[in-house]
């Protein structure tokens, strides 16, 4: 790994945990930073070393490598004001550092843009890209996916229709408008059509067969309940 490509994650949040797991799996050089020392025990339990520093102090930011070998910064605090302040501080030290921020509200997008965020992740806009990536390359899970879906407890899953599933033999239109289960059915990989992907919005009333694969989005808990109820 290039020593000049260090990554800093600011804010020990659920997003930071998910991103940290992916970075660790891939062998990236990264640090997770917060200003709340009470989070250290939680970080240790999860196998992370949490650095505590005053992110409002430019000297401390420089000591972490900003302006030297830090190329990417994730601002992951739950408070927009902290993220905006951190972006301004980091950019004042190194205007070329790439800063990735997550929006918590639609109103925060403009603030993050003005502050100088290089990439702003909006979970509602990015989900479309996630769908396309899953369809075309099912094995690919990247950092942006982890950021968006990790933070919002939202996941996308491919569910294979089994022989004993209660959905085997059902028509798509029978299960599409399903508000009770709180999941979004995106489309289906049809085994008879050599795994061709059919978007639900295309309007095909396809019959589900053993081996077909549903692509759904929802909270992890709701997906688990759905699979249990329909024997998937």
Q: What pLDDT digit, counting tens, does each position of 110-141 carry?
A: 788 888 888 887 665 555 555 445 444 443 34
The pLDDT value recorded for residue 135 is 44
The closest of 94, 37, 28, 38 to 61, measured between CA atoms, is 94
The pLDDT value recorded for residue 70 is 93
The pLDDT value recorded for residue 15 is 84
Are 6-121 and 155-229 the same fold in CATH? no
pTM over 0.85: no
The pLDDT value recorded for residue 141 is 44
The closest of 101, 49, 47 to 73, measured between CA atoms, is 101
What stretches in the chain show pLDDT beneath 70? 1-4, 106, 122-155, 176-181, 191-204
CATH top-level class for 155-229? alpha beta
Distance CA 63, CA 75 (A): 18
CATH top-level class for 6-121? alpha beta
The domain limits of the chain are 6-121, 155-229
* Residue the block writes with tokens 């709340």: 36
The pLDDT value recorded for residue 159 is 87
The pLDDT value recorded for residue 217 is 73
């Amino acid at each position: 790994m290039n020593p000049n490509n260090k990554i800093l994650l600011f804010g020990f949040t659920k997003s930071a945990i998910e991103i940290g797991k992916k970075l660790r799996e891939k062998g990236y050089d990264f640090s997770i930073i917060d200003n709340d020392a009470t989070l250290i025990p939680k970080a240790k339990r999860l196998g992370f070393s949490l650095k505590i520093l005053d992110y409002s102090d430019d000297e401390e930011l420089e000591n972490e490598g900003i302006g030297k070998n830090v190329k990417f910064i994730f601002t992951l605090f739950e408070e927009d004001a902290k993220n905006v302040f951190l972006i301004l501080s980091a950019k004042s030290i190194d205007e070329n550092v790439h800063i990735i921020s997550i929006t918590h509200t639609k109103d925060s997008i403009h603030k993050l843009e003005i502050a100088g965020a290089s990439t702003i992740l909006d979970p509602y806009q990015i989900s479309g890209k996630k769908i396309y990536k899953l369809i075309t390359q099912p094995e690919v899970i990247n950092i942006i996916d982890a950021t968006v879906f990790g933070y919002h407890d939202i996941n996308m899953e491919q569910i294979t229709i089994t022989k004993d599933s209660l959905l085997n033999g059902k028509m798509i239109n029978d299960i599409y408008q399903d508000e009770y289960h709180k999941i979004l059915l995106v489309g289906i990989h049809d085994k008879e059509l050599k795994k061709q992907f059919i978007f639900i919005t295309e309007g095909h009333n396809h019959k589900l067969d053993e081996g077909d694969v549903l692509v759904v989005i929802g909270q992890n808990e709701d997906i688990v309940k759905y699979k249990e109820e329909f024997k998937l």
